[in-house]
Copies of this chain bind each other. A is one copy, B any other.
Amino acid sequence: MRPLTIDLPAWLDEVVDRSRAYRSDEDRMGVAIDLSRENVLRDMGGPFGAAVFESESGRLVSVGTNLVVRHHNSALHAEMVALMLAERQVGSYTLAGTALPRHELVTSCDPCAMCLGAVLWSGVGRVVTGAMREDAVALGFDEGPVFAESYRYLERRGVAVVRGVSREESRGVLELYRSRGGEPYNG
């Protein structure tokens, strides 16, 4: 059977600086927001970006943007792309391996139901979000069956969650998407 090949835009590497450490949540969120903005400006798809960092060192491990429409693949949310690439990088299906430093996912918007589940299986120890669920919903995006209890489930499994970091800037990219005529592709 022909492999499932997901081509990744070359600019994903070009718009981020991998030579520096990202110390604060706001620094890390800046990467996710930059990615989300570039995704809009380059007409790649939904206004969402994400990145995986090593929590302690602040090293940038992987990045992702929403590639759903271009790639004919509804699973390619920014978080999924970033998590799959991080796992490829460490060579394991889990970022929680004993030989690995703690990892975290930083995403420009609250994850949808699919991505929230994926967070759990990825082995990241922390999630940081920018825009809130209601910001995405206001734009017409559906976030799926995510409830307060869903976040508590993650926390009980040892995944810390911090929401709404640089929320206004993240939301600004959602507005930019709308102002350019971008439609929610799964309305």
Contacts and interface: CB of A to CB of B under 8 A. Distances in A.
A62 to B, nearest CB: 10
A96 to B, nearest CB: 9
Interface in A1-24: 1-10, 12-13
Nearest to A120: B144
Given A69-B93, A147-B149, 8 more contacts: A1-B13, A4-B88, A68-B121, A73-B93, A74-B93, A114-B116, A116-B144, A121-B186
Contact of A3 (B6, B90, B92, B113): B6
Nearest to A8: B1
A38 interface: no
A75 interface: yes
A68 B8 CA distance: 21
Interface stretch (A78-86, A132-140, A172-180): A78-86
